[in-house]
Structure 1
Amino acid sequence: MLTLLRCRGSLTRCPWRVRASSGLSSSHESSSQRKYRDTVLLPTTAFPARRDPGSELRVQEESKFLELYNWQKGRKTKKEFSLHDGPPYANGDPHVGHALNKILKDITNRFHMMRGYKVSYVPGWDCHGLPIELRALAELGEEAENLSALEIRSKARVFAEKAIEKQKSSFIRWGIMADWEKCYYTFDPKYEAKQLDVFYKMYDKGLIYQDYKPVFWSPSTRTALAEAELEYNPQHVSRSIFAKFPVQQPPPKLASMIDGSTVVSALVWTTQPWTIPANQAVCYMPDTEYSLVKCGNTGEQYIIAADRIASTALSLDTKLEVISTFKGADLENGVCSHPTIPERSSPLLPANHVTMAKGTGLVHTAPAHGIDDYSVASHHKLPVDCLVDETGRFTVGAGNELENKAVLGDGNETVIKMLNGSKNLLKEEEFVHSYPYDWRTKKPVIIRASKQWFVNTANIKDKAQEALKKVKFVPASAANRILEMLDRRTYWCISRQRSWGVPIPAFYHKETGEPLINRNSVEHIIKLVEQHGSNVWWTHPLEDLLPQSVLKQVGGSAAVTDFEPGRDVLDIWFDSGTSWAHVLEDAEQRADVYMEGKDQLGGWFQSSLLTSIAARNKAPYRNIVVHGFTLSEKGEKMSKSVGNVVDPDFVINGGADKLKEPAYGADVLRWWVAESNVFTEVMIGPGVLNSAQDDINKLRNVLRFMLGNLNGFTPETDSVPSTKMYVIDQYMLHLLQDYSSKVSEAYKGYDFGKVIRLLESLITRDLSSFYFSIIKDRLYCEEEKDLKRRSCQTVLSEAVDLVVRSFAPILPHLAEEVFQYIPYKQGSEGIFRTGWIKSDSVWKKPGLVEAIEAACSIRDAFLGSIPGKNAAEYDITIVIEPGLLFELMETLQPEETSSTSQLNELLMSSHTSLVTEMPLDQAPGASVIEGSFLINLEGGDIREEESYKVIIQQSTKERCPRCKKFTTTSALSPCPRCLEAIAGKWSQ
């Protein structure tokens, strides 16, 4: 670990074509002074100091961005890297969430491509489903209800295609590397055919089945939903009630206690009163204590959990006197009257899902409207009667009083009135809690029993969880989250009651309703879909979809006309979750990386895993990288109504008034992505973007300095071997080698924020504030071909190449632009076709570290004592007793006094003297500072702290008119070093 103490400061702007060494040019210079100035080798480059976002399109064209993906795919290499693109919805304009995701993927791909890997990356789009169908039909209003399925599908496809083209155009502008002529689309016939093939493999294994059970149902979109399609509103307001279920038949063990002389009721609490008509039982926890209590207000007796007495009394604003306490198991075989349907009974039944967190400890059970309720009904053979239709309204089975009323509106109100009329309502009040909403319409959902197709995840989640243990997650914490989600998942509803999707290839017997689905029928449908697309399900006659020849292979005497095709389509998570079967090219069909937002832990990551495990017993990925969501600069969710939405295309191109709404270009957007801590929420806004632009301008300034000082340098003929370099130059190569190792590891770990931090530290601290400030004198004032000057030019040539390659995956436009201005690289293939960082292991010379760090300790002490002053105005004497520290300094300055030694250059003074004893005579006004340095050699085997003294005095010589150091005997004549540099070039 390097611990160099250096001057901290902002990047210094390179003074182009003005006085560039330690002094400033004067407007009062004589002609002779100006002729000296004109011999200084100032930086020369046409590389622009400021960014021009518009130049990015030129760079893309000249560097052949669109050809890069196919070029790298054509390379002969055994190293391959596959990043499988999770398909964004084709249902709207590109947004900053797209930018975050696509740019992260592109940085990853470009890094691996530069390292010699053949990258496989096929962009894709999720083209089916309700999000697109709703957007496509939104403008039609009520007319949409009269459209046929084919008309809906046609309009949805047109909408999706337009959205795809708009998104694709933006992705290309952002510099995303891909073959944009060969993307994948979930409405592609071959994709749909592969999807149906996976469906049948799962069906054939018994992992897909049809059943009548409760599912999340969206009345606003009239379809079943999976959990991944829900979002929870924490401020939802329900109408909660306490309701009585009068005991009709006392539990045998409590018969002596409940003798019929006083009415006893099981007391329940629910936030969904509309489900009361569908009640089939009241559940209790067998091992929990329950009590018979007497109400202080009415004298009525209730059965509730002992732990819930106090809270219930508080809610009812009464006192509850405990008459007796008993185990829940003692309620066995008890029966209650239904509170709104007198002729119906509700048995008391044991259930493990009953909790004591809320309510009364007794749970109203409606099997058609609750997952746990359904489990109880299945165990006890209870009816699962659904009294709610697809629009969320009560059916005729609910009775005249409720028929056709919305369960989340008037229906709910009517049930509460019915409870009140039967004198079984104790209390009703508003209750604020988290409640599931349809993520597309932002309206509440219900749980409703219906006949659907399911994936039995219970039978595959153990294998899925085991497979996940072999997958590496970034960040690691994401692994636990997806494992927990899988653990809670019992089944996956994959059927949807919509038109825009891939049909479930099932035929139903018109009389029995039994589905017909087998290898022969599905294989026939797959062939038709592959040829014509999934529209065949709606366009072709039944005889084409289910030929008699196929039906005969099934056996039996049924005719084709006895069947009709089903109208359910597959869940879009099944659509996208089977993308591995169509997109991944290698024999294993397993990607190195899936990289998506954290919402996909419950979405695409899971659906891809479950389908892959079910079909072929292995995960479709080796690594999962999870990023956060984008928020406004204030950490708020972006909203058009609030006015804080950031449009990535607006970021790149700017608004009408470029002063108020500047065009930042794609590289600023990419820098923002890389710089952010993407594993949490990522904020964006004008302040963030301006900061990113400033950072890139600072980087350009450093690059411009290096490019300007490489003018006239040709590496093949002018490079200096590291063994012949100045020690400070060798040390800089050592730092560059260390940087290249760290930055490569950061890329490998997907820690692009660390890449940015390493880059900024290198260019700000190591290069600009430290190395450049030291070598300017050598670059500008030595003779052009002098070995000392060529030495630092060699470092600059290595540095500019290494730095540009290190940020190229993040800033591809800037990287290619810089390469166009490197004098000796003009006309080259460009940076992405020439590979990754080429640092040399011989650069690593830890033995130099102590010498340079020791000198920097002295430098910091010296510069710290003259704040704001020019170091060249001083001569310094360093006093060190004989020992290791003195020997280290001798490697930088063998002679006692020098104005040109490496130690003097590092200290930036005019003269430096290195002695072992304090001089007997000191100049008037000289100051002495003391310090110490801990020498650490041989990996810590040698540790010795040695002290030093620095005597600082004003230089006694005149200021050189050329180099501006105080090293000449006459202010009119250059110093010996400058005279030698300009000798023979002109005469006085």
Structure 2
Amino acid sequence: MSQTSEKLDYSKTLYLPQTDFPMRAGLPAKEPETVTRWRKMGLYKRLREEAKGRPLFVLHDGPPYANGNIHIGHALNKVLKDVITRSFQMRGYDSNYVPGWDCHGLPIEWKIEEQYRAKGRNKDEVPINEFRRECRDFAEHWIKVQTEEFQRLGVVGDFDDPYLTMAYHAEARIAGELLKFAMSGQLYRGSKPVMWSVVERTALAEAEVEYHDHESDTVWVKFPVVGRGPGPNTGNSSDAWKNIEELRDAFVVIWTTTPWTIPGNRAISFSPRIAYGLYEVAAAENEFGPQPGEKLIFADALAEESFAKAKLEFKRLRDVSKEDLEDMLCTHPLKGLSDGYKFLVPVLPGEHVTDEAGTGFVHTAPGHGREDFDAWMDARADLEARGIDTTIPFTVDDAGFFTKDAPGLGPDREGGPARVIDDKGKKGDANKAVIEALIEKNMLFARGRLKHSYPHSWRSKKPVIFRNTPQWFVHMDKELGDGTTLRTRALNAIDGTRFVPAAGQARLRAMIEDRPDWVLSRQRAWGVPICVFANDDGEILQDDQVNARILDAFENEGADAWFAEGARERFLGSRANEPWHQVMDILDVWFDSGSTHAFTLEDRPDLKWPADVYLEGSDQHRGWFHSSLLESCGTRGRAPYETVITHGFTMDEEGRKMSKSLGNTVVPQDVMAKSGADILRLWVVTTDYWEDQRLGSNVLQTNIDAYRKLRNTVRWMLGTLAHDEGEEVPFAEMPELERLMLHRLSELDELVRKGYDNFDFKRVMRALLDFMVVDLSAFYFDVRKDTLYCDAPSSIRRKAAIQVVRKLFDCLVTWMAPMLPFTMEEAWLERYPEAESVHLAQFREVPGDWRDDKLAAKWRKIRQVRRVVTGALEIERKEKTIGSSLEAAPVVHVTDPALREAIADHDMADICITSGIEIRDDAPPADVFMLDDVKDVAVVFKRADGKKCARSWRYTDDVGSDPEFPDVSARDAAALRELRALGRL
């Protein structure tokens, strides 16, 4: 019996999208379920199995510190690493990601000490290995916490077997790397000024320091000139003043922001490039300080400012030449204080001296500054030849107190030694004591206060000081037997490394060029010890058998073996009766992390050395990138990486640094709980991560909106593919529009692969988002909905369109899987329920013959015309003239021959989604719709003729032409008849 149209529900005869993929993502609830599923199925191991035999691609993980919950910087860093490893895995590589943790060092030790203090315990009364065990337990706890948090972000890696710097094997390998430096003569004990944390009682490296504003006392100090000593300009004469007798009673004036370093002064530096003058005080308003008649030497550029500071009137007497200053001798301004400071203070040339601030003379305390130390050491031989004692004093101890080398201010001072900084990081009374002593000696020219950038420990956030202490160093400039030095090796390695962005190369190079010798020692307890034996002169025992015993013990017992009772005798063996001292300092943790390439990349068979990529924040140019480079160049002669990628820091939406005190932090755990990890990941891959980024509620909302558009496009494809029967239309038989979409896939395939190769994720994701929103949702899907919903099952056009949607889905979902792993996993399993995971798939191969630039150029013209038509109809829709574009049949004036040629063979009504269209080549009437950027197309609105098809809603003249289906068009009637024949009605 025939079935009439009146008995049909036409909506059931359409190929409308059908999918269980929800419009609302529900990521906060769904993502943890996916993480659990990945764990149960052993996704990481499956990835390794699938990748066997492929070339290795290794991103070596810079170890985060195991001492707290992850923050937004961790999230940014780990997502970037995950995108890289997943993208290479899905492009034919075995891209194995092994996470790691930095476990030793002061931050953890500090936490345990805080717990001790809270309980009234004294760390020094606890056996060292018991204390170290508590540090180890603390690190283990946070490794477990961070493991869960990183996996919640969607990161896939070998979390069951990560590398830990506190693992016994790691500690043995770190010790072995240190011993390589010791045996090659690169390690030495020296006494140099280093940054010292009084609060933490240890030396610090530059990477452990951050700079904050700090208000310092400033002083201008007078050094009495007493003569010129034997030197290059005076021969052996002890007094060669000749015609400059007036300088004998003058003062050289210095300026410093650290009055407490005055007791450590041993010289004054000047610059031969600066003009100096002799000045006389003409009048003075101050009761204390310079008085009329005093003669003072200043840089001319700074004299007026300095005299104004001291409220003095002055006159200039004459020039003071560099010949006048060379070999000049002064006395110390504190001479006679507690019968001390009786040595002479030479004036030395110095490249570091400028006339930008101060007096043009630099107070030089070689025990309290690197440049001071270098200037002193450069002049040391000449000074000793002139009979000057070049011993560098230790004026400040590890607790910040003045020592006996600061007479009158140290232990012999009434009331006890003055202190620079106390245990809480507060300013002590040292500056006050020094200034009072200078006033007593009438050697203070002026005083003041200055707010400036000053180094602070990044852990305690307290100011540090520079102090001369015995430490263990690695030579930067010692010849290593092959004509190179550690510095030249490192600089050559930098030149051979790819940097992303390129500016990172210059930054790291500048740091290596200027850095001093590498200080390795720390005066702490939790870490790998500097496991060498040395004599009183600092000579290191070089004995392979001793070293072997040490490394074997570390491998089996960990570094605690060094601190166990009887360790010295155990390791020295038959040499225990020789005068070798066991060094009890521990290694800088940057040496630990700088050695990770040795015990991870080299020792794991599933990795390789060197790594393809190191990726960290820009601060790691002075941190992990830096220490890894030096460690590897010192032991292997080259860098442990091929490429260094740098990301910036995350600021709030106003560009301010995030801090708890400002209340402007974005906590990744909160974002994931509210919106999902894929929203956070979308932000990461759409931001300029090479620079500092901004994040806040508005930025997150922008990404949520973009995600919804993306998800809805994926959802529509899934719904359409519910009707996919897998039929293939030969490429040559496809309509132009389908071939155009395949051409776009070809273009995108090249862009995506190059973008992933260049680690330019923003370019990749931006291109994919634009394609999905502009090319697909707003154009291709819009145009093809009628075909896909309404055409007959046998329609070649419909089959071709479904085939193209299939290709689009497979490419887009695999391309985006590294960036949005949860959403693309959900979509993939909805499409392919038999599949285990999209992450086990590869990017789809795109045939070369899909590329058709000529066709694309033609369709750019067609879309220009379409854009004018849709713009005109949108106005009519807003004015309620029509409800749908299918109610229109516009007249389109196309006066450009090239545009007319492009559209000539196409059904523009179909492309513009109208029921009809008339294309004319004559000039349009006045006041018709046009777009400013498409001058040769004008649209005159006209309603569609004919009747509305009850099935497709198009207005046609053939509605009712088929008596069996009297309220539909002939096209729809034929489709209905075909559906009935297939038993689908």
- Shorter-chain TM band: 0.7 to 0.9
- Given candidates 905, 914, 938, the residue that maps to 1:909 is 914
Counterpart pick for 1:759 among 768, 790, 814:
768
Contact 1:85 1:594 survives alignment (8 Å) = yes
Which amino acid in the other structure matches residue 406 of structure 1?
R
Q: More displaced, 736-745 or 98-107?
A: 736-745
Closer/same/farther in 2, CA of residues 253 and 960 from structure 1, 3 Å limit: farther
In structure 1, C-alpha distance between the alignment counterparts of 2:12 and 2:623, rounded to whole Å: 67
Contact conserved, 2:271 with 2:349, CA < 8 A, in 1?
Answer: yes
Q: How far has the Cα of 1:582 moved from its partner?
A: 0.9
Q: How does 1:528-927 map to 2 (within 5 A)?
A: 528-542=553-567, 544-549=569-574, 551=575, 559=577, 562-585=579-602, 589-653=609-673, 663-715=674-726, 718-822=727-831, 825-866=832-873, 867=875, 868=877, 869=882, 870-876=884-890, 885-892=899-906, 901=907, 903-913=908-918
Call closer, same or farther: CA 1:840–1:304 in 2, change over 3 Å. same
Q: CA deviation at 1:65?
A: 7.8
Distance in 2, matches of 1:306 and 1:199, equals 51
Deviation at 1:256, TM superposition (A): 3.3
In the other structure, the counterpart of 2:235 is none
User: In the alignment, which residue of structure 1 is the partner of 2:256?
Assistant: 270
Give yes or no for the alignment of 1:59 onto 2:34.
yes
Equivalent in the alignment of 1:361: 360
Tell me, yes or no, if the aligned pair for 2:227 and 2:241 is still in contact at 8 Å: no
The answer (yes or no) to whether the contact 2:60–2:613 under 8 Å persists in 1 is: yes
> Are residues 1:526 and 2:551 paired?
yes
Deviant stretches of 4+, over 6 Å? 879-883, 915-918, 925-934
Q: Secondary structure at the match of 1:181?
A: coil
> C-alpha separation between the residues in 2 aligned to 1:853 and 1:639?
49
| 1:791-824 Cα distance to aligned partner (Å, 9 max, x none) | 21111111111111111001111111001211xx
Is the 1:66–1:177 Cα contact (8 Å) retained in structure 2? no
Change (3 A) 1:933 1:366: closer
The number of equivalent residue pairs is 910
Output one character per residue of 1:541-577: Cα deviation in whole Å (capped at 9) or x when no partner. Answer: 145533433x2xxxxxx715x4442210000001100
* Greater mean deviation of Cα atoms: 299-308 or 583-592: 583-592
Q: Measure, in 1, the Cα distance between the counterparts of 2:979 and 2:160.
A: 60
Answer yes or no: is the 8 Å Cα contact 2:828–2:837 preserved in 1. yes
Question: Which residue is 1:406 aligned to?
Answer: 419
Contact 2:887/2:954 (<8 A) preserved: yes
Q: Report the alpha carbon displacement of residue 914 of structure 1 after superposing the two structures with TM.
A: 5.4
State how far apart, in whole Å, the 2-side matches of 1:288 and 1:883 are: 75
The 1:547–1:38 alpha-carbon spacing in structure 2 relative to 1, beyond 3 Å, is closer
The 8 Å contact of residues 39 and 982 in structure 1, kept in 2 or not, is answered as yes
Residue pair 1:968, 1:976 contacting (<8 A) in 2 also? no
Aligned residue in 1 for 2:129: 150
CA contact (8 A) 1:198 1:615 kept: yes
Alpha-carbon distance between aligned partners in 1 of 2:941 and 2:349, rounded to the nearest angstrom? 91
Mapped to 1, the partners of 2:429 and 2:931 lie a distance apart of: 85
- Where do 1:72-471 residues align within 5 Å? 72-74=47-49, 75-141=51-117, 143-146=121-124, 147-233=126-212, 235-249=213-227, 254-259=241-246, 263-297=249-283, 298-342=292-336, 343-378=342-377, 379-380=379-380, 381=384, 382-403=390-411, 404-408=417-421, 409-458=428-477, 459-471=485-497
Shift of 1:887: 4.5
Do 2:829 and 2:836's aligned partners in 1 also have CA atoms closer than 8 Å? no
Deviation at 1:97, TM superposition (A): 1.0
Contact conserved, 1:854 with 1:933, CA < 8 A, in 2? no
Q: How far apart are residue 889 of structure 1 and its match?
A: 2.9
SS of residue matched to 1:367: coil
Paired position in structure 2 for 1:19: none
User: In the alignment, is residue 489 of structure 1 matched against residue 515 of structure 2?
Assistant: yes
Aligned pair in 2 of structure 1 residues 829, 340: CA closer, same or farther (>3 Å)? Answer: same
Write the deviation string for residues 605-638 of structure 1: whole angstroms up to 9, x where unpaired: 0100011111111111110000011222332222
State the distance in 2 between where 1:932 and 1:681 align.
38
Taking the aligned partners of 1:692 and 1:881, their CA distance within structure 2 comes to 42
The one of 43, 48, 51 aligned to 2:22: 48
TM-score (norm 1): 0.88
The answer as to whether partners of 1:926 and 1:952 remain within 8 angstroms in 2 is: no
**Cα distance in 2 between the residues matched to 1:308 and 1:879:** 78
Percent of aligned pairs with the same amino acid = 34
Tell me if structure 1 keeps the 8 A contact 2:329–2:345. Answer: yes
CA contact 2:189–2:538 (8 Å) conserved in 1 = no
Query: What is the TM-score when the length of structure 2 is the normalising length?
Result: 0.88
Q: Secondary structure at the match of 2:813?
A: helix
SS in 2 for 1:487: helix
Please give the alpha-carbon distance, in whole angstroms, between the structure 1 residues aligned to 2:240 and 2:844: 82
Q: Is contact 2:194-2:466 (8 Å) kept? A: yes
Q: How far apart, CA to CA, are the structure 2 residues paired with 1:794 and 1:985?
A: 20
Residue pair 2:79, 2:155 contacting (<8 A) in 1 also: yes
Paired position in structure 2 for 1:958: 947
CA contact (8 A) 1:968 1:974 kept: no
Q: Which runs of 5+ in 1 are unaligned?
A: 1-29, 552-557, 654-662, 893-900, 935-945
The verdict on how the C-alpha distance between 1:461 and 1:338 changes in structure 2, with shifts beyond 3 A counting, is same
**Partner residue in 2 for 1:942:** none
Q: Which residue of 2 aligns with 1:516?
A: 541
Quickly say closer, same or farther: Cα 1:42–1:607, change in 2 above 3 A: same
**Hey, what's the Cα distance between the residues in 1 that align with 2:135 and 2:930?**
79
The alpha-carbon deviation at position 150 of structure 1 amounts to 1.9
Preserved CA contact (<8 Å) 1:960 1:968: no
CA RMSD across the alignment = 2.7
- The verdict on how the C-alpha distance between 1:956 and 1:645 changes in structure 2, with shifts beyond 3 A counting, is closer
The answer to whether the Cα contact below 8 Å between 1:927 and 1:952 also exists between their aligned partners in 2 is no
> Do the aligned residues in 2 keep the contact of 1:336 with 1:345 (CA within 8 Å)?
yes
| Among candidates 943, 946, 956, match of residue 967 of structure 1 | 956
Q: How many angstroms does 1:247 deviate by?
A: 1.5
Q: CA deviation at 1:706?
A: 1.0
Secondary structure, counterpart of 2:835 in structure 1: coil
* Cα gap change, 1:170 to 1:949, in 2 (>3 Å): closer
**Alignment of 1:473 onto 2:490:** no
Q: 1:689 to 1:876 in 2, by over 3 A?
A: closer
From the superposition, tell whether residues 287 and 956 of structure 1 become closer, same or farther in structure 2 (CA, over 3 Å).
closer
Contact 2:182 2:540 in 1 (8 A): no
Report how far residue 63 of structure 1 moved: 4.9
TM-aligned CA deviation for residue 231 of structure 1? 0.7
Q: Is the 8 A contact 1:293 1:303 kept in 2?
A: yes
Paired with 1:747 and 1:416, the residues of 2 have a C-alpha distance of 61
Matched letter for residue 98 of structure 1: H
Q: Secondary structure at the match of 1:832?
A: helix
Is the 1:65–1:175 Cα contact (8 Å) retained in structure 2? no
Secondary structure (helix, strand or coil) at the match of 1:397 reads: coil
SS in 2 for 1:462: helix
Q: Decide whether aligned partners of structure 1 residues 282 and 61 sit closer, same or farther in structure 2, where only a CA change above 3 A counts.
A: closer
The 8 Å contact of residues 82 and 121 in structure 1, kept in 2 or not, is answered as yes
Post-superposition Cα deviations, 1:156-182, rounded to whole Å, max 9, x if no partner, equal 111111111111111111111111111
Report the CA distance between 1:270 and its aligned residue. 0.9
